[in-house]
Amino acid sequence: MILRPGLEGVPVAHSSICDIDGDQGLLTYRGYPIADLTSHSSFLETTYLLIWGELPSPQQLKEFEAEVQMHRRMSFRVRDMMKCFPATGHPMDALQASAASLGLFYSRRAIDDPQYVFDAVVRLIAKIPTMVAAFQLIRKGQDPIQPRDDLAYSANFLYMLTEREPDPLAARILDRCLILHAEHSLNASTFSARVTASTLTDPYAVVASAVGTLAGPLHGGANEDVLAMLEEIGSPEKSGAYLDNAISKKQKIMGFGHREYRVKDPRASLLQELAEELFARFGKDEMYDVAKALEKEAAKRLSSKGIYPNVDFYSGLVYRKLGIARDLFTPIFAISRVAGWLAHWKEQLGANRIFRPSQIYTGMQSRKWIPSDERKLAIDI
């Protein structure tokens, strides 16, 4: 038996949702290049594509958008539960608990019923942004803001965060960011979603498990750490020395490297374009020059190893310019990735087999029981 830590390179599922060419830096959703989707589609249209496999007709898209709009509001019971959360808690923990609570309200499990699947998709896509925005205001001592039916998906989310109607460009930039983060094959959180889905539990538990996985700094939490790193560097001319020191100490450089890509992550390139579009309209973030200098210096030192900027490197700069709090970066990642998680949930149901990997046992064998009064001091726990 061969051990492959982290299941690296081990196929565990057939999927037609997403394809990655890490050598060429190509990413497609259902065969559509990510650049085309960010240029021409919307997040809800892309969500429909991911989950149902085809771009919707104008009427199908209109009906889907209307259903999502109708289900944006959350129960007052969920709101009151969130008011009991500690204000110092991380928004990802609040989101995981809130997403899981939906299973109490919609406890019927009819995963072989297409209408149940559709309704679950709509509820999760619609309510997750409301939950993120609600906790942001609740932890500041304010009541949540009700969604506005006249605003599109991303514009409404920004409105619920600020109670101000966002600039159309800001709303469109956020919508494109959501498309970029919506799906990325069997990453850690998506694999978590598929493992949970394989038990045939409800989709709310599936999403809650994925949210918990996404929260880790080696996955979705990295975009928060990138900004902290750029601020620590402080100025463009210090980027080379910072890299040399990090490399010599074998420290991880946040926002660089990806298991799938040996070139620059295509999402990083598109996010950099979005950042520049925002800066041209609303003024540049001084950390952007540090980021560009760091990327340039990293290319000299790390490109031979196939280490380039990943999706997290520029996303934090975009979100900060949109006025979003740093610890909300990963919850926004979750708002987007719900689309991919649900696509994989639906695909898993189509040919389900519960995940049950094996292990290589390395422990002791044939030990004899020792009565408690004869035991020596146990190891500290």
Q: Active-site residues: which are they? A: 258, 312
Per-residue DSSP letters for 19-76?
EEETTTTEEEETTEEHHHHHHH--HHHHHHHHHHSSPPPHHHHHHHHHHHHHT----H
Please tell me the distance from the alpha carbon of residue 372 to that of residue 44, in angstroms, as a whole number: 61
> What is the DSSP code (8-state) at residue 304?
G
**In the chain, where are the structural domains located?**
13-217+327-350, 222-321
> What is the DSSP code (8-state) at residue 18?
E
182: pLDDT strictly greater than 80: yes
Please tell me the distance from the alpha carbon of residue 200 to that of residue 133, in angstroms, as a whole number: 30
pTM of the predicted model, to two decimals?
A: 0.94
Question: Residue 2's pLDDT band (boundaries 50, 70, 90)?
Answer: confident
pLDDT in tens, 339-373: 999 999 999 999 999 999 999 999 999 999 999 98
Which sign does the torsion angle of CA 289, 290, 293, 298 carry?
negative
pLDDT in tens, 79-133: 999 999 999 999 999 999 999 999 999 877 788 899 999 999 999 999 999 999 9
> Does the domain at residues 222-321 carry the CATH identifier 1.20.1250.20?
no
Question: Residue 33's pLDDT band (boundaries 50, 70, 90)?
Answer: very high
> Does the domain at residues 13-217+327-350 carry the CATH identifier 1.10.580.10?
yes
What share of the chain has pLDDT > 90, as a percent? 89
Q: At what angle do helices 239-248 and 222-233 cross, to 10 degrees?
A: 120
Average pLDDT over residues 157-172: 96
Contact 163, 311 (CB under 8 A): no
Average pLDDT over residues 15-21: 97
pLDDT of residue 380: 62
Terminal Cα-to-Cα distance of the chain (whole angstroms): 31
Closest CA to 210 of 105, 21, 348, 37: 348
Residue 349 contacts by C-beta under 8 Å, 6 or more apart in sequence? 111, 112, 117, 197, 200
Please tell me the distance from the alpha carbon of residue 113 to that of residue 58, in angstroms, as a whole number: 25
Question: Residue 1's pLDDT band (boundaries 50, 70, 90)?
Answer: confident
Contact 95, 128 (CB under 8 A): yes
Angstrom CA distances, 201 to 111, 124, 197, 268, 289, stand at 9, 15, 6, 35, 47
Please tell me the distance from the alpha carbon of residue 277 to that of residue 172, in angstroms, as a whole number: 11
Task: Specify the range with the lowest mean pLDDT, choosing from 25-34, 42-51, 223-232.
Answer: 223-232
pLDDT of residue 8: 82
